[in-house]
Amino acid sequence: MFRFIFKKENQVEKMIYAYLENFRLILEHFSQALVSCIARNRCEEFDFLTDQTHKYESKADDILDEVNNLMFRKALIPDSRGDIMNLLIALDKIPNYLERALFMIRYQRLAIPEIFVDDLQDLIHTSIESCELLLKQVELFLKNETGTRSLMGTIDTNESYCDHIERRIISQLFQSELDPFFKLQFKELVVNMGDISDQADRVSKLVNILTLKRRV
């Protein structure tokens, strides 16, 4: 574990893996909140699952702060500190998009029109898949193992597919007879959903850059 980056800094190592595991819990509760409830428009579990997502998102921030504190007490050499923190900070933007999507639905009381349910579920599923692949890619990077570039290719393909779904939804939305104000609300939600795969792709490319940097 962390053979290249870390030596005996086991506490830092454990905290980073705790962050990645907590990230998986955020993905799990976000996915349950949306995929399980989206067709029923705010099922009974939605608020609970949204609160759970928020809880784990807050915990992610706490873990990240602790990792930052540990690393900048000279637990790691300066170059490694900067690379790892930049990677984690970029990764940590994704839970913000997940939480924001749930809050939009919850507090704006958005009901998903039936004509968009299938596309939105496809967008969510593909975005979650990219995030899960990204976590695997990050772990391979931290362990100095091969396979990061192959995962980057899949994540990039998923990002392009999500862009296609996002454009299709928005095009159909503004051709519909739905309320104009709802159109703006729903577009904001869809764009935010699209940001998930966009950010996963950006972080994936950062992992690839850091992997190449390691070999120089």
| pLDDT tens per residue across all 216 residues of the chain | 444 455 545 778 889 999 999 999 999 999 999 877 786 655 678 889 999 999 999 999 999 999 888 877 755 555 577 888 899 999 999 999 999 999 999 999 888 999 999 999 999 999 999 999 999 999 999 888 999 999 999 999 999 999 999 999 999 999 999 999 999 999 999 999 999 999 999 999 999 999 988 776
pLDDT of residue 8: 45
8 Å CB contact between 148 and 140 = yes
Give 21-49 as a DSSP string: HHHHHHHHHHHHHHHTTGGGSS-TTHHHH
What is the maximum span of the chain, computed from C-alpha positions, in angstroms? 62
pLDDT of amino acid 207:
96
How far is 36 from 121, CA to CA, in rounded Å? 10
CA distance 165 to 168: 5
Tell me if 107 sits within 8 A of 183, measured CB to CB: no
Write 29-37 long-range contacts (CB < 8 A, 24+). 29/53, 29/56, 30/98, 30/99, 30/101, 30/102, 30/128, 31/124, 31/128, 33/102, 34/101, 34/102, 34/105, 34/121, 34/124, 35/121, 35/124, 35/125
Q: What is the DSSP letter of 146?
A: S
Q: Which pLDDT score is estimated for 1?
A: 44
pLDDT of residue 176: 96
Q: pLDDT value at position 4?
A: 46
What is the domain partition of the chain in residue ranges?
10-215
CB of 60 closer than 8 Å to CB of 135: no
- For 50-73, the DSSP string reads HHHHHHHHHHHHHHHHHHHHHIII
Distance (Å, whole) CA 30 – CA 157: 22
3-state secondary structure 68-109: HHHHHHHHCCHHHHHHHHHHHHHHCHHHHHHHHHHHHHHHCC
Q: How far apart are the first and last CA of the chain?
A: 21
pTM of the model: 0.90
Instruction: State residue 42's pLDDT score.
Output: 58
Task: Report the topology of domain 10-215.
Answer: Methane Monooxygenase Hydroxylase; Chain G, domain 1 (1.20.58)
